C-alpha cells in the first residue's frame, strides 16, 4: 500500500505543472508534499518526512503571501 501512496504523491506533484496560476501550483505542490509526508511515515523515512514538511510549509506560506498581496492591491 505504501507504494501506491508514493505513486499518488508523484502524480499530484507532476500534475502541478499543468497549473496556470502560481498560487494554485503552490497549493497543489503543498498537497503533494503532505501525501509524501504520509508516505514517509509509512515507510519510516525521516528524510522524506522532514524534506516534505519544509516543502509543504514553504509552498503554503508562499501561496498565502501571494493571496494577501493580491488582496491589498
- From first to last of its 73 residues, the chain has per-residue pLDDT tens of 889 999 999 999 999 999 999 889 999 999 999 999 999 999 999 999 999 999 999 999 998 888 787 777 6
pTM across the whole model: 0.88
pLDDT of residue 73: 65
Q: What are phi and psi of 45, to 5 degrees?
A: -120, 90
Measured CA to CA, the distance from residue 62 to residue 64 in angstroms comes to 5
| Structural domains counted in the chain | 1
Residue 21 per-residue DSSP state: S
**Which residue range forms the structural domain that includes residue 21?**
2-72
pLDDT of residue 70: 76
Amino acid at each position: 500500500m505504501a507504494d501506491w501512496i508514493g505513486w499518488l504523491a508523484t502524480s499530484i506533484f507532476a500534475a502541478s505543472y499543468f497549473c496556470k496560476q502560481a498560487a494554485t501550483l503552490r497549493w497543489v505542490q503543498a498537497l503533494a508534499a503532505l501525501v509524501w509526508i504520509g508516505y514517509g511515515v509509512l515507510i519510516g523515512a525521516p528524510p522524506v518526512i522532514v524534506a516534505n514538511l519544509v516543502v509543504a510549509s514553504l509552498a503554503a506560506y508562499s501561496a498565502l503571501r501571494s493571496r494577501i498581496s493580491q488582496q491589498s492591491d
